[in-house]
């Protein structure tokens, strides 16, 4: 009778008559079976119910291995057979890692674009200063250009709002005009001495901050608000980035300089706008105070000569106009002359 030697693990043996025979899990062991002999192996779990002929009976899942079994199997799992690829390594967990460069990235490789180390202190300072100045110049010019475009779109409104023609004063019958003094106003001034025994309150304080001036044309808001900035100056070659690390720092520092330049342009515009508002309001305030008798008029002197010069140059009907004395604020007001004067200061 022929014999067969088998290494068994977990299996189901079904006889020709259809009655299954259950084989338990065996780690190692050799069993000799004679042909035609039916064998039933011992099992640690109850046998499943009989099944019809020609069907399979599912085997219950074996228990999970314990920690000792896992630790004992580590040397076997670390065998080089489990790592057939040369240079491969076993990781504790699955991680994405850094993506390798693409085909296009390799094709775009150029000289001097290899990754550089951290910047040296001297090189870092040189690169930072050049990038910041370059970016600040660009941001300043770009923001100023945008502001000028905004002013151009609102040109008609600004012409009507800031019209100095109704404020300047004509002098004589010629082309000479006089810009009124600029008078500022402060409200609710309060002062207290060091000992706290004396307090001083003032509802309104007027001050002449700029004296009257002679001019040939009324002021224009464009001279206050419109500014032109040149293009950024290209840095010297030694201050330009060379490596990828320097390019990364360069881009960051140029962006920071650009933001500072835009901020500076906005601050300059707001300062110019404040100065424009102060001047036109101060001139108008002078006219109001003049009508109220709180301020004097400038004293203007004219000198006329029929002819001046001779020889190569001769001036006929020559006239010189000079402001002899500047106006001053008056402490005493004429009775009934407070028309247009602020009510809270009367």
Q: How far apart are CA 267 and CA 60, in angstroms?
A: 80
Instruction: Please name which of 145, 139, 214 lies closest in space to residue 176, comparing C-alpha atoms.
Output: 214
CA 13, CA 297: separation in Å to the nearest integer?
Answer: 126
Tell me the two tokens of residue 290.
């003049």
The pTM of the whole model exceeds 0.75: no
Phi, psi at 178, each rounded to 5° = -120, 125
Q: What is the pLDDT of residue 154?
A: 95
CB 117 within 8 A of CB 245: yes
For the chain, count helices (H), then strands (E).
6, 11
Give residue 158's pLDDT. Answer: 95
pLDDT at 261: 93
Q: What integer pLDDT is reported at residue 305 of this predicted model? A: 84
For 103, residues 6+ apart whose C-beta sits below 8 A from its C-beta are: none
Span 253-289, pLDDT tens digits = 999 999 999 999 999 999 999 999 999 999 999 988 8
The torsion angle over the Cα atoms of residues 136, 141, 144 and 148, rounded to 10 degrees, is -170
Give the pLDDT of residue 190: 84
- pLDDT given for residue 268 in this prediction: 95
| E-state strands within 195-312 | 199-210, 213-215, 299-310
The pLDDT, as a whole number, for residue 53 is 56
Question: Residue 322: in which H helix or E strand, if any?
Answer: strand 313-325
In this structure, the number of other CB atoms found within 10 A of the CB of residue 90 comes to 8
- Report yes or no: 236 and 131 within 8 Å, Cβ to Cβ: no
pLDDT for 84: 47
Which residue in this structure is represented by tokens 């001297």? 122
DSSP three-state, residue 241:
coil
Q: How far apart are the first and last CA of the chain?
A: 137
Q: Which residues contact 115 (CB under 8 A, 6 or more apart)?
A: 243, 244, 245
pLDDT at 19: 46
CB-CB neighbours of 127 under 10 Å: 23
- Strand segments, DSSP code E, in 121-212 are 169-170, 177-179, 182-192, 199-210
Element at 244 (helix H, strand E):
helix 244-292
HSE-CB for 331 with a 13 A CA cutoff: 0
Question: What is the distance of C-alpha 176 from the center of its chain?
Answer: 50
Q: How many CB atoms lie within 10 A of CB 326?
A: 12
Q: Which of 157, 149, 162 is nearest to 277 (CA)?
A: 162
* Spans of the chain below 50 pLDDT: 1-33, 35, 38-39, 41, 43, 80, 82-88, 90-91, 94-96, 116-117
- SS3 for 147? helix
3-state helix, strand, coil in the chain (%, to 5): 35, 20, 45
Q: In the numeric block, which tokens belong to residue 48?
A: 């499943």
The pLDDT assigned to 147 comes to 94
């Amino acid at each position: 009778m022929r014999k067969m030697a088998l290494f068994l693990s977990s299996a189901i043996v079904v006889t020709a008559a259809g009655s299954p025979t259950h084989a338990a899990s065996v780690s190692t062991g050799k069993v000799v079976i004679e042909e035609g002999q039916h064998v039933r192996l011992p099992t640690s779990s109850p046998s499943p119910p009989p099944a019809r002929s020609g069907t399979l009976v599912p085997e219950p899942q074996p228990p999970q291995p314990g920690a000792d079994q896992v630790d004992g199997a580590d040397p076997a799992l670390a065998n080089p057979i489990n790592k057939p690829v040369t240079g491969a390594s076993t990781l504790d967990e699955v991680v994405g890692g850094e993506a390798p460069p693409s085909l296009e990235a390799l094709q775009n490789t150029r000289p001097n674009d290899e990754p550089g180390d951290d910047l040296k202190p001297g090189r870092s300072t040189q690169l930072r200063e050049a990038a910041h100045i370059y970016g600040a110049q660009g941001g300043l010019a770009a923001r100023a250009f945008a502001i000028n475009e905004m002013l151009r779109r609102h040109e008609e409104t600004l012409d009507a709002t800031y019209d100095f023609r109704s404020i300047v004063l004509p002098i004589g019958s010629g082309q000479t005009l006089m810009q009124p003094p600029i008078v500022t106003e402060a409200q609710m001034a309060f002062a207290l001495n060091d000992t706290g025994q004396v307090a001083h309150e003032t509802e309104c304080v007027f001050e002449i901050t700029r004296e009257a001036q002679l001019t040939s044309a009324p002021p224009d808001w464009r001279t206050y608000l419109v500014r032109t900035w040149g293009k950024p100056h290209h840095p010297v070659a030694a201050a330009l980035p060379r490596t990828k690390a320097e390019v990364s720092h360069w881009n960051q520092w140029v962006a920071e300089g650009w933001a500072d330049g835009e901020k500076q342009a906005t601050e300059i515009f707001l300062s110019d706008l404040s100065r424009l508002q102060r001047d036109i309001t101060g001139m108008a305030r002078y006219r109001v105070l003049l009508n109220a008798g709180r301020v004097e008029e400038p004293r203007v002197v004219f000198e006329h000569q029929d002819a001046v010069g001779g020889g190569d140059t001769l001036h006929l009907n020559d006239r010189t106009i000079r402001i002899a004395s500047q106006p001053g604020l008056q402490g005493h007001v004429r009775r009934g002359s407070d028309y247009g004067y602020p009510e809270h200061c009367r």
